Chains A and B, each alone.
Chain A
């Protein structure tokens, strides 16, 4: 069963613009992670936010978490063509570390 649903499914922007993608989930979580997948490659961990955190930054990435709405957002500021990839949220409900991944947002950043 899918825990996370990303929105939008696809996003197309110009270089320099900000990209925002959202993740909604169904059950309570311990933390939420965001991963990036370049075409034809494996997933790469970007950032983790714990359930007691509301916002976290890492370079050009900003992640928010609203546990009351069971949602998270990933903001990429000043996008670059190299940010073109699919982005997935993954929720961790605790216990043995089994992540449940969402369906992903495909981001296209045009020069």
Chain B
């Protein structure tokens, strides 16, 4: 596996609480991504980053924010968690923005919002 870790790996929280998920990489890759995976939807891009402090929205960004203060860390924050945000969240990295570049995925975080 590429040097990508996600924390926590599992989390149960209550509706309305803020939640922050962390992605940490040791590959020094410039590009980082957050996806969510839900049955019947595959993986959907939430936000991505193309450098320190450079981020942009993906397909399903509502209710999520991100920050990247260091190359190795990309944080995903659910400002006020809702039950619809119950999902498995994956972080991914890539070395370049070239079309066809492989993305490497972390092990995922299972989030349950009650």
Q: Knowing A1-B59, A42-B90, A97-B31 touch, does A103 contact B42 (C-beta < 8 A)?
A: yes
Given that A1-B59, A97-B31 are known contacts, is A43 also in contact with B98, CB under 8 Å in the complex? no
Known A-B contacts A2-B42, A98-B58; the reply to A92 vs B90 at CB < 8 A is: no
Check A31–B99 contact: CB distance below 8 A.
yes
Q: How far is the CB of A77 from chain B (nearest CB, A)?
A: 23
Interface residues of A in 22-78 (CB under 8 A from B): 30-31, 33, 40-45, 48, 50
Chain B residue at minimum C-beta to C-beta distance from A6: B42
Q: Assess the B90–A31 pair: CB atoms within 8 A.
A: no
Assembled-state Cα–Cα distance A43/B101 (Å): 14
Identify which of B13-21, B68-76, B105-113 touches chain A.
B105-113
For A102, what are the chain B residues with a Cβ–Cβ distance below 8 Å? 42
The number of chain A residues touching the other chain, given as a range, is 20 to 34
A30 surroundings in chain B (CB, below 8 A): 99-100
- A-B contacts besides A42-B90, A97-B94, 16 pairs, CB < 8 Å: A33-B100, A40-B108, A41-B107, A42-B106, A45-B102, A88-B43, A92-B100, A96-B48, A97-B31, A97-B98, A97-B103, A98-B58, A99-B103, A101-B35, A101-B44, A102-B42
The residues of B with any CB-CB pair to A shorter than 8 Å are 1, 4, 31, 35, 40-45, 48, 50, 58-59, 90, 92, 94, 96-108
